[in-house]
Amino acid sequence: MSERQVINISTEEAKRQTDIIHILSQSLKGKNLKYCVSTFGCQMNARDSEKIEGMLEEMGYEKITKEDEADFVIYNTCCVRENAEMKIYGRLGHLKTIKKKNPNLIIALCGCMMQQDIVLETLKKKYNFVDIIFGTYNIYKLPELLQTRLETQESVIDIWDSHQDIVEDLPNTRKYNFKACVNIMYGCNNFCTYCIVPYVRGRERSRELSDILNEVKALVADGVKEVMFLGQNVNSYGQSLSTPVSFANLLSEVSQIEGLKRIRFMTSHPKDLSDELIEVIAECDNVCKSVHLPIQAGSTHILKSMNRKYTKESYLELVSKLRTAIPHIEITTDFIVGFPGETEEDFLDTLDVVEKVKYAGAFTFIYSKRTGTPAATMEEQVPEEIVKKRFNKLLTLTNDHILENMKKYVGQTVEVLFEETSKNDKTVLSGRTDTSILVNVKAPDTLIGHFAQVKIVATKTHYLIGELVE
Ligand code: SAH
Ligand code: SF4
Ligand code: F3S
């Protein structure tokens, strides 16, 4: 039996930080300070950044997008692949120039990358102009760290190697007023052999069902129509709580909240997707009919070496169960190409899965060696030219299938929740269907945050084009 977790939701700690926020807001009053947050990586980091922004705004900082006009710049970092880290080192080089011109600029780094010793060493040696460094377990301590930096004028490094409390109820912002992300759990216990996340985000811990329900109710009362539940493996939600609850239980409870129109979730690990969950998705109207189900690789032999705990066959069976129970469900996925030991035959298995599943979307990644993970020391790392060839082949094939899948929408009328104006054309709004497909429509921006019926008239590979139904 797995160990039961004791979660200490520290209201005391939240109060301490709130008090510091109050003190800082008094001392910083009238200074007209500006902040700029850059977020790298996944939705977890995006959600953490909302918490960071909320705290800074309570202190009186105003959000801007130009780093060279800011008084406080913070990078919330990712280290899932090497190029994510290289991007941050590159940006730091640029920040150094900005700081030379404005020595009062405070630079803070946080997030997953900071949890690695090797990164800390590099920062201390080559980037000692950084003022504040903290990690993934102590985001809520930002007010205190900033206070220390302002009082001592010295750089502050505070990295913990495991989590202590889940601190609820600190201020946070929301990017959209009609939709919100909600963490239902933190960390990961799965240790896929390529992945750094369990090392930088710690062991899996779930929030109490009642806390999640209260948060969602408050969001709905505040105008939210769509929530996205976040976790590295939402399907194992609640198993370690003192009174265990399943993810299916959580979804069916939340689906009863009056006024909540859409519930999404990410990410579903195929090994833990239960029949009970399939039933809940099928039965609850407001649980969206889309699932992100990363396969990573099609070959059972590679999946074993990745420690994914499912086979090609069991994955395909799961897809078929989902489609039988929920005929119009859309399935998206992640692929890793070039995992150590991947032969041409293994790669053909991945292509075969693409042919069989017909994904509605896919993120394709080239395997990136992460120091400290078991795969980093595996023999038979695949040569770069071979990986690139496979990557391009997989991308072309998945895109062909994605386009094929999109065509079925042409002529249909679908319900769209409009999210924002399109970057390229201000007269066009982008929104999503219940099945999470992106739709572009010529529409007034007063429709942002609202649902409308849209007739699909054409399609591109990654979005549908529609017209408002009068
Ligand atoms: N918890 C999620 C994934 C989080 S990381 C899950 O299990 O599905 C998001 C994606 O990054 C993964 O699905 C994987 O495809 C990719 N990824 C993780 N580590 C990687 C690595 N070392 N190299 C390349 N891609 C990686
Ligand atoms: Fe990484 Fe695997 Fe955990 Fe996902 S489930 S975060 S891929 S270790
Ligand atoms: Fe990156 Fe951390 Fe997410 S490593 S992908 S930001 S959990």
CATH code of the domain containing 261: 3.80.30.20
Cα 108 to averaged position of ligand 2 atoms, centre (Å): 27
Residue 419 near residue 179 (C-beta atoms within 8 A): yes
Q: Is residue 450 part of a domain?
A: yes
Cα 253 to averaged position of ligand 1 atoms, centre (Å): 30
Q: Which tens digit of pLDDT belongs to each residue from 10-40?
A: 778 888 899 999 999 999 999 999 999 999 9
Question: The domain that contains 444 carries what CATH number?
Answer: 2.40.50.140
The total number of structural domains in the chain stands at: 3
Nearest bound ligand to CA 372? Answer: 1
For ligand 2, atom 1, the nearest C-alpha belongs to: 195
For ligand 1, atom 2, the nearest C-alpha belongs to: 232
**CB 188 less than 6 A from any atom of ligand 3:** no
**CB 42 less than 6 A from any atom of ligand 3:** yes
Question: The domain that contains 44 carries what CATH number?
Answer: 3.40.50.12160
Average pLDDT, the chain: 94
Q: At what angle do helices 209-221 and 247-255 cross, to 10 degrees?
A: 30
Nearest bound ligand to CA 370? Answer: 1
Q: How far apart are CA 450 and CA 185, in angstroms?
A: 29
pTM of the complete model:
0.93
Q: Is residue 223 part of a domain?
A: yes
Assess whether 320 and 396 both reside in one domain. yes
Cα 141 to averaged position of ligand 1 atoms, centre (Å): 28
The confidence band for 5, taking pLDDT boundaries of 50, 70 and 90, is very low
In terms of residue numbers, what domain contains 104? 3-158
Overall average pLDDT of the 446-461 stretch: 97
Nearest bound ligand to CA 40? Answer: 3
Tokens linked to 57: 């705004």
Which of the listed residues 373, 407, 441 is the one where a domain comes to its end? 407
Q: Which tens digit of pLDDT belongs to each residue from 280-290?
A: 999 999 999 99
Residue 74 near residue 110 (C-beta atoms within 8 A): yes
Q: Which tens digit of pLDDT belongs to each residue from 196-242?
A: 999 999 999 999 999 999 999 999 999 999 999 999 999 999 998 98
The per-residue pLDDT for 1 is 32
Q: Is residue 301 part of a domain?
A: yes
Q: Rounded to 5 degrees, what are φ and ψ at 410?
A: -60, 125
Assess whether 122 and 203 both reside in one domain. no
The per-residue pLDDT for 249 is 97
Q: How far apart are the first and last CA of the chain?
A: 57
**CB 361 less than 6 A from any atom of ligand 3:** no
Mutate to test the pocket of ligand 1, among 365, 366, 387, 395 (most ligand atoms within 8 A of CB): 365
Mutate to test the pocket of ligand 2, among 43, 192, 333 (most ligand atoms within 8 A of CB): 192
The per-residue pLDDT for 171 is 78
Q: Which tens digit of pLDDT belongs to each residue from 304-347?
A: 999 999 999 999 999 999 999 999 999 999 999 999 999 999 99
What lines the ligand 1 site, CB under 6 Å?
Answer: 80-81, 194-195, 197, 232-233, 267, 269, 294, 296, 334, 336, 365, 367-368, 370
Assess whether 219 and 368 both reside in one domain. yes
Q: Which tens digit of pLDDT belongs to each residue from 61-99?
A: 999 999 999 999 999 999 999 999 999 999 999 999 999
**CB 201 less than 6 A from any atom of ligand 3:** yes
The confidence band for 9, taking pLDDT boundaries of 50, 70 and 90, is low
Cα 200 to averaged position of ligand 1 atoms, centre (Å): 13
Assess whether 198 and 100 both reside in one domain. no
The per-residue pLDDT for 3 is 39
Cα 430 to averaged position of ligand 1 atoms, centre (Å): 27
Nearest bound ligand to CA 232? Answer: 1
Which of the listed residues 378, 407, 436 is the one where a domain comes to its end? 407
Assess whether 210 and 257 both reside in one domain. yes
The per-residue pLDDT for 11 is 77
Assess whether 269 and 393 both reside in one domain. yes
